[in-house]
Structure 1
Amino acid sequence: MGKLDIQRTRKLLQDFDFSTLFVEELGWSQPVGRQPLALTVEGVKYSGRQLAQLSGVVVLEVTADDGQMPAAKTRAALHKEIAKHHHENLLIFVDRERASSLWYWVKREGAKLHPREHLYVKGQPGDLFLSKLGAMVVDITELDASGALPVTEVASRLKKALDIERVTKKFYREFSDQHLAFLDLIEGIADDRQRRWYASILLNRLMFVYFLQKKGFVDGGKLDYLQAKLAHSQTSFGKDRYYRAFLWPLFFEGFAKPESERSPETRKLLGNIKYLNGGLFLQHAVELANPEIRIPDRAFENLFGLFERYSWNLNDTPAGKDDEINPDVLGYIFEKYINQKAFGAYYTRPEITEYLCERTIYKLVLDKINTPAITGVVAARQYDSMAELLLGLDAELCRELLLKILPELSLLDPACGSGAFLVAAMKTLINLYAAIIGKIKFLNDRSLDAWLKKVEQEHKSLSYFIKKRIITDNLYGVDIMEEATEIAKLRLFLALVAAAQSVDELEPLPNIDFNILAGNSLIGLIHVDPAKFDTITGAPATKLAEPMVAEPGGFDFGATAAATRKDLQREYRNQKSTEKFTRLLEEKNRLIDTFRHTAGYAEDLSTMRDAIETMKREAVITLNKLLLDEFNALEIKYEEATWDTAKNKEGKPKKRALTIQDIEAQHPFHWGYEFDEILNKRGGFDAIITNPPWEIFKPQAKEFFTEHSELVTKKTMTIEDFEKEQSKLMKDADIRVAWIEYQSRFPHISRYYRGSRQYKNQISVVNGKKAGSDINLYKLFTEQCFNLLRPSGECGIVIPSGIYTDLGTKQLREMLFAETEVTGLFCFENRKEIYILTTFPLVKDPVKIAAQNAYRDVERGLIK
């Protein structure tokens, strides 16, 4: 297959020179017929001009005499007429100004026709469109004697263009080995969890810099900067000094401080390094807690040796070499690497993430734009699709979208993993921004022109500005694994710097430490009672100044006449408590907003971040106590598993009262504190898009004992053989203690999931009996998404087909059908040859949810 010239292809696409694009860049043949097709539909004349052809497939540019883009029904009618002349075709509808193009191809399934439309508007960078064109590239040496390409080869090529697994599996195997070796070489961190976490933090920084150097953005374009500095460190500073003598100054002075703030020695050591702000290059909590970290040079030699065997590309473009690594590939690598069944972290294919994000976000935006008519005042505004909306953009719509609707969207993934859905959501919003900005140039609107001029004056890269705006203001993610949140932030940073075409276009990275957070999405307070927060024992030590207000008798006498003095005093205390908690949140939100949008250098950011973290630590003490009160109100006890040594089997569990340590062990995520503005002021998130874990929440013996016996890993092991092996393993005291501790984690949390009001739809009753006693995490996430959405919000979720087939989901289904509107259901079948897409948008009136269901393969790592 020929290689796509990205720069020239991009220019031809942006110039709307589609004929040259297909013939000279994609390698298609010249058209056979030069005479345009003359067509008339609904009284309007159209012309279909051939641009190129290949193996009987003809590309035609279709224009209307009136210069307008035809409506959906008209496009279908035109395709039907053109198909009489050219059965297989690709139509490109273009308007008179050659500012908008709609690429129209029809998929055939027997007698059924399924139109596929892709809009490209002048001014868009075209990155996503290039991915579609990459599959169409043909080299002349591949054509047969008749100038055609076999259909089987075309099919194989399309699969190859869309399939990254062969590359990633190879890189994954090598990366896994190197990651483990790297982990073993880290010294100075006693805690295993922190050491593993730090390995990911450091690897993320290194890969970010590696991508930058391969893009030519480090020290005047040095493509082997990290490797060269490793050699320099060994000759100048001696063995095993690279980590401390070079990487620390690079991270915490080079990228974290403006050049004027660096010492002369550091400037000489590092060379020309672009200041990129803090966030990724602030000292991490693990580094602050472990100041004596040491890593030998050979850890980096091995790592760079792996990196050098692959081509690194930031642009996520297709048709690259088989050894090419890009951010999407890294997403697969990391989600597979951190894939632990205890956490349910799984990879979601780009085809699914992008489709679900487009469907969910486009529906959300259309709902905000579409308005009913007011008789005699204003006409209805109704767009059936995003393509129709973008084709019909005027100045008023552009202003509404650009300045109000898009900047205020809040998009959440509560099980974000490595950030696949967050990146896909960003790409979806980029498409909208690009189409709007591209249209501005043709509207001659003074205010829009002034806005665009100001942005272009202040930012050298418009694309960089848009991406940074989206990442900072629109995207939110939570995951129970700290490693996953670090990776999600890295992928967003990589997607951002990919927008820069030169090092001068780089701007400071966004500070999103409080957008992407670690915690247990299923356990925590969604809404916080302000009075209880302030009156509970151990309220936060953070002192907030209270305004002096003169009130007779210390409380408001304007209360209900029948109230007693005691009632009035209680009301006053509650009022003051509410005011204090509100001010705590206001101060926290003010600091976070400043942190997100500041471009100050690292010392300022560190101070601000530390203040926010201190406030949070103090607040969490009280929030966890409030959560413990909820557990106690449900009469939940901690059930400690025991072992009967005489019988060599499990004994009767010991019950005790829950402690605050039991709550802390769950790593609760208190939504009502972390995202209180979104939940309290806006009523919830605008959209939630996620692929949550599907595991059943209960002890998994085979999973546990896999870590202790190679025999258990055998898939052919019978139940009887497993029980014998388990009995033998339990004679080991250390394994027995670990098993008891493992089993003790589940009972009290299971009771909470069954009894908590926020999960009231988890238990189904069929014929007077409870059905489906197992607690499945996807069911909990589905209901939690419902809890977190605002009225009229949208949710796209990938879940098993059991949502609409199992007896145990009956109550959950009833909630979805009674309180939401199901807007779409698509199902994947778990076969290698075929998979069927099914989405299950669940939408509430007032909340709208979209859901997507899929079967998983045996490994449960991929959808196939």
Structure 2
Amino acid sequence: MPGQASGDGMAVCVEDQFGKQADAWCEQVRVAVEILLDAMDAAPLADKHQWFEMIGREVDGTSLSLRDTLDALYQSGSAIIMRLIVLLYMRARHLQPLRGMTDQPYGDLNILDQLLCCPASSGRYDAWKHLKLLFLLCDQYLNPGSGDFAPHYVRLFLPGDRHSIRALRRALAVLESWDMLFSDSCVKQLLTILQTTCSSVPPAPGDFKDFPVEAIGLAHQYLLDWQLCWDGQDLYLQQGVGARKASGTFYTPPTLARSLTECALEPLVYRRDQQGMLVPRTPEEIVSVKVCDPACGPGFFLLAALRYMTDALCKAYQLYCCPPVAAPEQQRARAAMLVAQQCLYGVDLNLFTVELARVSLWLEVGDDCIPLNFIDHQIKPGNALVGTWSHLYQKYPVMAWLREAGDENHTTGVHYRARQWGADLLKVRREVVKPEFQQMLLHDQEKIAGAACPEDDTLEEGQMRLYDRWCALWFWPPEHLDIAPTPATFARSSAAVDRIVATVAEKIGFFHWELEFPAVFQSGGFSAILSNPPWETLKPCSREFFQCYDPHYLSYNKQEALLVQRQLFARDEKIEQDWLAYQAYFKYMANWVRHVASPSGDSSIAGGSASFKLASGPLNERMHAPFRYQGNADLNSYKLFLELAHYLLRPEGQLGMLVPAAIYTDQGTAALRQLFLERCQWRLLFGFVNRRRIFAIHSSFKFAAIVLTKGGHTTQVALTFNQEEAQALADLREPRLLSMSRQQILSLSPSSQTILEIRDRRDLEILEKIYPHSVLLGAQHEQSWRLRYAREFDMTNDSHLFAPVAHWQSRGYAPDVSGCWIDREGKVALPLYEGRMIGAFDPALKGWVRGRGRSARWQDLPLTHKRLQPQFLMAAEIYRDSSTAVRGNKLAFMDVCSPSNARSMYASIVNGLPCGNVTPVLQPANSSIISVAALAANLNSFVYDYLLRCRLGGVHLNYFIIAETPLLSPERLCATCCPLMAARLNLILPGCASQWLELRSLLPELGQQHWRQLWAVTAHERLRLRCMLDAIVADLYGLDYADLCWILSSDPRHIKGFWRIDKEKPEPLRQTTLTLQAFEHLIRVGRETFEMEGWQLPADVAHYLGPRFTSWQCEGSIAESWRECEALADLTCNLEGKRCQQVGC
């Protein structure tokens, strides 16, 4: 496990120390970029319009959008800063690849010292000229023989080119063409800032010698958080809208990368002897290991693998008596070079990031005798998710034509009509593709793969072009459908088709794994895949897209946002075109993922009803390409990378990845979990919660490090959850891990195979005690609740169905005693429930005051004066006609939650009122008030909340999460006093009068009690009833006192514990303490006596909380109280006019 065979301890110390200063380092680099941009902005004779034109002009005559042009300019400025940083590394580590030059200052990089020492003149520009020459020399000396590849690569020191196909190189050409762009003062300031940064970070002031090379990638990824903007006059940086945020890419702490790498690679480079000690494998075995990061970024995992494998190789040389070829330092450098050249592979979509990964590996190897491009053939740019395979290419991809065009919901069009592209696509599919494909299958199926390589291409180049053409069909631009390769024309080539294929391939970044790394796949695949892939959801986000054009876009509601979209489209047609293309990409990508594994519609997806074998044994797995295990949820990039990684591995290969916690909790990852449990050996599941800000995302976000071996099946998973420190993975030892068997996973989650978050073996004991004797919430058999689940109205998509309260007030509507709003003509508008309005047993927890969205202000509503105070109202007839509405008695609960809040489930009875999507509703098949109240008692109990938290990894209570939670059977629960106690807690509004009458008809003995005194509206009575309910529910679940003590532990180290409840109160007054006392009493006297006699709070607690009832609850006789209830029920219906008929009250 990690830490048992780690590398140099000093390097680890330096690395960890750097992690503490990472933010300061990144900010200094950003300041350097900003100084550079300011100098560009203030340059004499600088014409930014001319710059934008030169950068944005594509080789085919088209123009980039202003946004893309500014991005290229920003990247060019960042590239210059990264060049300076790498030069400082080279100088500090005595890497002198220019030593052969006769010009000494350039040969030993002393020119940097001279530039720092020269007078800082703002009117001289010699330093910039020297730097440009140094950059040019570095490119020539560090990349010998790379000239032919200049159009296809973005080398760090490669000079700009105004005629390049890449906007970055065109932007660099603009900057490098100006000799008077950056003054000597500016250059000196840049170098000083970058060097001063190092002096504030151990271990050596002003020296990059021991500065971890990860700092290069860290700085670059931080810069991706920013975006260059232009207000028409000045250039400026804006945070939070850059490429890193859009792609869900985050900096991986070196400690985390190192620990996960060691855990995954250990069985490949070490073995255990008879005493259980780690022994390195032979040098031949070690260098035969092939490690890949398919989303390598600047190479953090590759650097970790390089160090770990180099350390193992050096130990192997010593162990197996290999004769030393040099001094230890030189031998390690040569071992590192051997590992880098023979073992490491990487792919990333960002070309410049790929170059930084290469540079970082070169610096880490530390041998200036090898060229900077020594590993170019193994670290490559491309879209790892989009490429074809030899066995797929054999068939025409007819399924590519099933894609949507992206303009289906284009309701704000100015220059483009909605569904026009979709209609064109459908016409070609029906009238051309389908008939030709049918004819091909009937008459000459072999010609599906009949495309030939162009005569002037080599075999490899010809295959690459044909593979690109096959993939381009899936992303073919809708404006060129007339020349798209059809089944009859696919084998024929034309200049027009080739140009479009090249353009699409460049834009998407097709990456054909077999052609890029042929030797790897001839031997069966990679030995290990290590990665922290992007965590983005692959669907369009209008907020992120339009924020680039309107900084205030995030503050608009949906209707305002649609208006702004139209205004932007009217101002610039290119924005509308880019918006449609942006949406189309996600539609095309979804179709690719859905069908690429069966491009002719002839294979199966996980969960499908049919399958076939193309070959036998391991070859059959290789013949079935990804993606077949993505489920039906939204596309998530991390899921795609997980499945791709599994596919790229050879048998017994190791997979180690950092992914969101959804991998073990979500329904959308069920197919992947099944794959990993049934066809892999899932070795490790190490869960984190981001409370210590390991990643720059919300502190409640959860993620996991997973390690598995391809092949076989899982018997036990070593796991732990809710770790907060990245160092925890490095400190891991097997005895500290819990273990869960595959059978336990299936018994606790038979449908989705969710892996429950447990903190101790005690949790497993309690879960295994509860589940066998319970019914699942989602079950539909006779002994279950047979619940109906609904999300009635979407607060965004259905926003046209309701309006703010002010809208109704202006039309004469006012609230009545029931909480509904009525105008002078008797028309009814209903309050729309939002998540903040409800609490546990509380239908009116908060009331809206003002504002909207996240800035809205809400106020707590006192228990003794409850009323509905909504933000939005909906016309009663809209609710009546809705097919999604659930009428009658129902339970609403808060969708937004957290397992680390005081409670996770907040459910309340609501009757006949609409609910937004953030307050989903549940309704039993028997929707009587007793049944619904019993369900509320179960869901709001401590025990149920505990069970829910064990499977809750995110911040939403989706149905698939609650569906497999265990409930008490309705027969058992409804036979207790729990429904009545839940009703007393919940039915505390005048509008609940009709429900009280229904309850009295079912429980006639209620007529002997004062109606108002049945309302639990004091702190005393609510606490008493809540404690009783929790005690009875715990007993019905079959728990003993020790079990409930464990669940209600006051240990604050338990992240999911209930210690937060009443933590501001003395322990004797806390609900958890009193619940244990009530449960202890129940065990002593028995549940029947407990229910019959009731349970009272301890005398001192009761005295502190005051009376059980308010004075107004004691007014009048019992008969008078019920007459009041009946009058309110009648008045409610009369005041609502036709509302009862409209909505089925």
Q: SS of the counterpart of 1:678?
A: helix
* Structure 1 residues 257 and 513: alpha-carbon distance in aligned structure 2, compared to 1, 3 A threshold: closer
| Residue of structure 2 equivalent to 1:328 | 214
Give me the whole-angstrom Cα distance separating, in 1, the residues matched to 2:340 and 2:639.
Answer: 29
Counterpart check, 1:461 vs 2:330: yes
Please say if residues 472 and 505 of structure 2, whose CA atoms lie closer than 8 Å, have aligned partners that are also in contact: yes
Mapped partners of 1:584, 1:333: distance in 2 = 41
SS of match in other structure, 2:511: coil
Q: Give the gaps of 5 or more residues in structure 1.
A: 1-114, 121-125, 136-158, 259-277, 371-380, 534-568, 586-614, 642-653, 859-864
How far apart are the structure 1 equivalents of 2:557 and 2:40? 35
CA distance in 2, matches of 1:431, 1:217: 22
Aligned residue number for residue 495 of structure 1:
364
- Aligned residue among 305, 312, 327 for 1:432: 312
Alignment of 1:115-134 (within 5 A): 128-131=8-11
**Residues 824, 382 of structure 1: alpha-carbon distance in 2 compared, 3 angstrom cutoff:** farther
Instruction: Tell me if the contact between 2:33 and 2:77 (Cα under 8 Å) persists in the aligned partners.
Output: no
Aligned to 1:780: 640
Cα 1:322/1:572, change in 2 over 3 Å? closer
The one-character-per-residue Cα deviations of 1:99-144 (angstroms, maximum 9, x if unpaired) are xxxxxxxxxxxxxxxx995568xxxxx7x31145669xxxxxxxxx
2:638/2:659 contact within 8 Å kept: yes
Amino acid aligned to 1:414: P
Indicate whether 1:525 and 2:525 are aligned: no
Give the conservation status (yes or no) of the 8 Å contact 1:178–1:303: no
TM-score with structure 2 setting the length: 0.43
1:686 to 527, 550, 556: 527
1:621 pairs with one of 461, 465, 476: 465
CA shift at 1:809, angstroms? 1.6
The residue correspondences of 1:436-451 to structure 2 (distance < 5 A) are: 436-439=316-319, 445=321, 448-449=322-323
TM superposition shift of 1:755: 1.4
Greater relative CO (CA pairs within 8 A, separation 6+): 1
Distance in 2 separating the partners of 1:210 and 1:169: 16
> Structure 1 residue 784: deviation in Å?
0.8
1:669 aligns with 2:526: no
1:804 deviation in Å? Answer: 1.6
Report the alpha carbon displacement of residue 845 of structure 1 after superposing the two structures with TM: 1.0
Instruction: State the one-letter code of the partner of 1:389.
Output: L
How far apart are 1:306 and its partner, in Å?
Answer: 2.6
1:171 aligned onto 2:28: yes
In 2 relative to 1, CA 160–197 (structure 1 residues): closer, same or farther, beyond 3 Å? closer
Matches within 5 A, 1:234-383: 242=129, 246-247=133-134, 250-252=137-139, 283=158, 286=161, 289=164, 293-296=176-179, 298-299=181-182, 301=184, 302-311=186-195, 318-319=202-203, 326-339=212-225, 340=243, 341-366=245-270, 369=271
Q: 1:165 offset after TM fit, Å?
A: 2.9
Match of 1:39 in 2: none
Q: Secondary structure at the match of 2:633?
A: coil
Matched residue type, 1:824: L
Separation in structure 2 between the aligned mates of residue 315 and residue 513 of structure 1, nearest angstrom = 33
- Displacement of 1:744 in angstroms is 2.5
What's the secondary structure of 1:478's corresponding residue? strand
User: Which residue in 2 is equivalent to 1:751?
Assistant: 591
Of residues 673, 679, 688, the one that matches 1:813 is: 673
Shift of 1:418: 1.1
1:514 to 343, 354, 377: 377
Matches of 2:526 and 2:387, distance apart in 1: 17
Q: Distance in 1 between matches of 2:568 and 2:723?
A: 34
Alignment of 1:86-125 (within 5 A): none
1:286-307 alpha-carbon deviations (Å, 9 max, x no partner): 5884688514354374354233
Question: For the Cα contact (< 8 Å) 1:314–1:494, is it kept in 2?
Answer: no
Separation of aligned partners in 1, 2:365 and 2:197: 13
Distance in 2 separating the partners of 1:181 and 1:317: 27
- Checking the alignment, whether the CA contact within 8 Å between 2:154 and 2:351 is kept in structure 1 is no
- In structure 2, how many angstroms separate the alpha carbons of the residues matched to 1:306 and 1:762? 55
Q: Note closer, same or farther for the CA distance 1:510–1:693 as it changes in structure 2 (3 Å cut).
A: same
The equivalent of 1:111 in structure 2 is none
Name the CA shift for 1:311/1:788 in 2 (closer, same or farther; >3 Å): same
Partner of 1:732: 571
**Can you list the C-alpha shifts for 1:132-167, whole angstroms capped at 9, x where unaligned?**
5669xxxxxxxxxxxxxxxxxxxxxxx866523342
Instruction: Evaluate the alpha carbon distance shift between residue 329 and residue 758 of structure 1 in structure 2; reply closer, same or farther with a 3 A threshold.
Output: farther
Aligned-partner Cα distance in 2 for 1:762–1:572: 26
Question: Judging changes above 3 Å, is the alpha-carbon distance between structure 1 residues 672 and 405 closer, same or farther for their aligned structure 2 residues?
Answer: same
**Helix, strand or coil for the counterpart of 1:512?**
coil
Gaps of 5+ in 2: 58-68, 97-103, 146-152, 165-169, 226-242, 397-443, 486-499, 610-629, 726-853, 855-1145
Contact kept? 1:198, 1:286, Cα under 8 Å: no
Task: Give me the whole-angstrom Cα distance separating, in 2, the residues matched to 1:479 and 1:217.
Answer: 27
Q: Tell me the distance in 2 between the aligned counterparts of 1:762 and 1:712.
A: 40
CA deviation profile, 1:378-403 (whole Å, cap 9, x unmatched):
xxx6675xxx223xx6xxx5xxx21x
Contact 1:763/1:772, CA 8 A, preserved across alignment = no
Q: Is the 8 A contact 1:692 1:777 kept in 2?
A: yes
What is the TM-score when the length of structure 1 is the normalising length?
Answer: 0.55
Paired with 1:640 and 1:163, the residues of 2 have a C-alpha distance of 52
Q: Deviations over 1:616-665 (max 9, x none)?
A: xx543222123346x4xxxx876689xxxxxxxxxxxx999586354553
Shift of residue 739, structure 1, vs aligned partner: 1.9
Aligned partner (choices 353, 362, 380) of residue 484 of structure 1: 353
Distance 1:234 1:513, change over 3 A: farther
Q: What displacement does 1:786 show?
A: 1.2
Q: For the Cα contact (< 8 Å) 1:783–1:812, is it kept in 2? A: yes
- 2:361 partner letter: L
Which residue identity lines up with residue 330 of structure 2 in the other structure?
Answer: S
Q: Which residue of 2 aligns with 1:4?
A: none
Superposition deviation, residue 829 in structure 1? 0.5
What is the Cα deviation at residue 688 of structure 1? 0.5
Provide the C-alpha distance between the structure 2 equivalents of 1:696 and 1:409, rounded to a whole number of angstroms: 33
Partner of 1:741: 581
What are the superposed Cα offsets for residues 167-188 of structure 1, whole Å, 9 maximum, x if unpaired? 2243243144246457878977
Is contact 1:314–1:326 with CA below 8 Å preserved after alignment?
Answer: no
- Relative to structure 1, is the Cα distance of residues 852 and 436 closer, same or farther in structure 2, using a 3 angstrom cutoff? farther
- In structure 2, give the amino acid aligned to 1:828: F
Which whole-Å CA distance do the structure 1 matches of 2:467 and 2:157 have between them? 28
Higher Rg of the two aligned structures: 2
Q: CA deviation at 1:670?
A: 0.9
Does the Cα contact within 8 Å between 2:347 and 2:379 map onto a contact in 1? Answer: yes
CA distance in 1, matches of 2:350, 2:381: 6
* Gap change, CA 1:472 and 1:205, over 3 Å in 2: farther
Q: Is the 8 A contact 1:130 1:317 kept in 2?
A: no
Choose the corresponding residue for 2:278, options 377, 389, 392: 389
In structure 1, how many angstroms separate the alpha carbons of the residues matched to 2:549 and 2:326? 60
Counterparts in 2 of 1:765 and 1:174: CA distance versus 1, 3 Å: farther
Q: Which whole-Å CA distance do the structure 2 matches of 1:202 and 1:296 have between them? A: 15
Letter in 2 for 1:335: Q
- Structure 1 residues 311 and 232, CA gap change in structure 2 (3 angstroms): closer
Counterparts in 2 of 1:532 and 1:295: CA distance versus 1, 3 Å: farther
1:321 CA displacement? 5.4
Q: Partner amino acid for 2:251? A: Y
Equivalent position SS for 2:539: coil
Contact map agreement 2:684 2:719 (CA 8 A) in 1 = yes
